[in-house]
Amino acid sequence: MASTKTTVLIVPGLRDHVPEHWQTLLAAKLPGVVSVAPLEQDKLSCAARVDAIDRALATIEGQVIIVAHSAGAMMVAHWAARGATREILGALLAAPADLETPMPAGYPTTDTLSDHGWLPIPRGKLPFPSIVAASSNDPLTRLDRARDLAQAWGSRFAELGEVGHLNHASGYGEWPQAEAFIRELS
């Protein structure tokens, strides 16, 4: 696993911390993990979410590996585009949500996301090594869109196969492959 001087920062998606989610289980398993705290207000604000990443990073000394899921991957892209000053060892961006394409019922509309600063998705090269891990049957992102984002961000692309949105609803609690990706970024 990552050295003791490396902290994993968990960046969840818009649904925040779900008890059975692989990120929550990973945070409980690894030592010294820091998670971006859920917002109490402005929950759909991209700027507020990016500020929450900054607040979490301010609590960490030493090297950081970011582990983001779904809209959390978009938060990281927005954070980096804003001119991130914190050095990041690497980032795992798992099942990035394509916020530019209408999502299934129950998710915010593209107009709502645009109104809250999420669109357009930043497409600049990330200033740190990264891995985009994507599913071939994710209801929130087509595989070709995830591949395009990985290319734009300068990320290594890892196709995971048919794993849905890589969440509890898709049958995922623990996701051991996350630890392998973290080791790769260490």
The top-level CATH class assigned to 6-185 is: alpha beta
pLDDT category, 4, cuts 50, 70, 90? low
What is the reported pLDDT for 131? 98
**Per-position DSSP letters for 152-181, written without gaps between them:** HHTPEEEE--S-TTSSGGGT-S--THHHHH
* Tokens 């109104």 found at: 115
Q: Looking at 24-28, 81-85, 182-186, which range is the least confident one?
A: 81-85
Q: State pLDDT tens for residues 9-44.
A: 999 998 766 788 889 899 999 998 999 988 888 889
What is the reported pLDDT for 22? 87
Q: State pLDDT tens for residues 153-166.
A: 999 999 999 999 98
- Strand-pairing partners, residue 144, are none
For the residues 66-89, what does the mean pLDDT come to? 94
